[in-house]
Amino acid sequence: MRPLSATRPRRPYTATGAGEVPTLLRALVCDSRELSFLMEAHDALSAVIAEHAGFEGLWASGLSIASTLGYRDANEASWTQVVETVERMADATSKPILVDGDSGFGNFNNARLAALKIWQRGAAGMCLEDKGFPKMNSFVGDRHPLADIKEFCGRLKAVKDRVPDPDFVVVARLEALIAGHGLDEALDRAHAYSEAGADAILIHSRKSTAEEILEFARAWQNRLPVVIVPTRYFKTPTSVYRDAGVSTVIWANHNMRAAVAAMRNVCRRIRDEDGIIGVEGDVASLEEVFGLIDYDELAAAEGRYLPARP
């Protein structure tokens, strides 16, 4: 585990980018025969906590990053804010990060620039959804116009061409079911995105059961690995995805939602109880926080670099 303070040396503009992590993400999403999991993180602290819990890969959620900044998940956060957040996450963890690149922040040119930048800052892959700019969170409202297929293929190709590491994972996210289209539209698009060079297909759904996802998986027959986000169909047992040959499950927003619930609870209690005695045992100790952020390394560095005390 790389502690938050042990930041990797700054990379020059065109240097080796994300190092070994794209290979790790590719192994999880594209090559592994086991079901893989990516845990949501939205900043360095949540990334480290997810790594400590044992997750082998992370999802830099657009929704969660936007929410923590106080923005709507409608491209209100700028692409540079996303890049900066991803950099802090990548500095904090040794685990590979798949970044939610929304719809690419514009056309092929914006998408390839954002992809290059997140790779340079340590991301292992990018997920691009086939909508326009600005996008809207898939669970909000009914306005989810799909991108033209050929134009979106250009976005995927531009990203593949621009990022120098062939292991950088490009996930094409299908919003056809979200937009109210049927299985045929989803499959047509999956074939086109596969031909355009996508490394995996994320099939998204807002239904409360996994039926349409499983139907897609049966018809698609793993021509490319399938990634899913079971936020709405959360009641489905994970074994169902294993049996269906799904490659990767993204637990997409649960660190952010857990933080909201915990913060709401502690605020209420401190206010109601008129003090902090009652909550002390229920919040992380300062020692734990100092440990997560590796204050020991700083103390050791002070020993090396500061003049000895008289």
Contact 67, 238 (CB under 8 A): no
Type of residue at 256: M
Structure tokens at 88: 């802090």
**Closest CB 208 distance from ligand SPV, rounded Å:** 13
Query: If binding is defined by CB under 6 A, does position 165 make contact with ligand SPV?
Result: no
Question: Within 10 A of 230 (CB to CB), how many other CB atoms are there?
Answer: 19
Give 84 or 293: the residue with its C-beta nearer to ligand SPV: 84
**Closest CB 62 distance from ligand SPV, rounded Å:** 4
**Closest CB 299 distance from ligand SPV, rounded Å:** 37
- Residue 138 binds which one of Mg ion, ligand SPV, none, with CB within 5 to 8 A depending on kind? ligand SPV
Is 73 catalytic? The answer is: yes
**Closest CB 100 distance from Mg ion, rounded Å:** 4
The candidate with the shortest Cα–Cα distance to 153, out of 188, 180, 181, 120, is: 188
Query: If binding is defined by CB under 5 A, does position 104 make contact with Mg ion?
Result: no
Query: If binding is defined by CB under 5 A, does position 100 make contact with Mg ion?
Result: yes
Tokens 């909201």 belong to residue: 260
DSSP three-state, residue 41 = strand
Structure tokens at 45: 């602290």
- HSE-up of residue 282 (Cα within 13 Å, Cβ side): 11
- Residue 231 binds which one of ligand SPV, Mg ion, none, with CB within 5 to 8 A depending on kind? ligand SPV
* Given the residues 31, 43, 73, 91, the one annotated as active site: 73
Among 68, 194, 253, 255, binds ligand SPV (CB under 6 A): 253
Please identify, among the stretches 59-67, 151-159, 190-198, 274-282, the one whose residues bind ligand SPV according to the rule CB under 6 A.
59-67
Tokens 């360095």 belong to residue: 44
Query: If binding is defined by CB under 5 A, does position 62 make contact with Mg ion?
Result: yes
Type of residue at 206: R
Tokens 């890969």 belong to residue: 57
Give 216 or 294: the residue with its C-beta nearer to ligand SPV: 216
DSSP summary character for residue 127: E
Sign of CA dihedral 206, 211, 212, 217: positive
Q: Which 63-92 residues touch ligand SPV, going by CB under 6 A?
A: 63, 73
Phi, psi values for residue 40, rounded to 5° = -65, 140
Q: How far is residue 3's CA from residue 63's CA, in Å, rounded to a whole number?
A: 25
**Closest CB 204 distance from Mg ion, rounded Å:** 9
Give 44 or 127: the residue with its C-beta nearer to ligand SPV: 127
Query: If binding is defined by CB under 6 A, does position 137 make contact with ligand SPV?
Result: yes
- Taking phi over 0 as left and psi of -120 to 50 as alpha, with beta for the rest, 26 belongs to alpha
**Closest CB 139 distance from ligand SPV, rounded Å:** 6
Q: Which 88-107 residues touch ligand SPV, going by CB under 6 A?
A: 100
H/E run at residue 195: helix 183-195
The secondary structure of 141-172 as a DSSP string is SS--PBPPHHHHHHHHHHHHHHSS-TT-EEEE
Give 73 or 294: the residue with its C-beta nearer to Mg ion: 73
Please identify, among the stretches 46-54, 92-100, 225-233, 279-287, the one whose residues bind Mg ion according to the rule CB under 5 A.
92-100
Catalytic residues: 73
Interaction site with ligand SPV (CB under 6 A) = 61-63, 73, 100, 137-138, 229, 231, 252-253
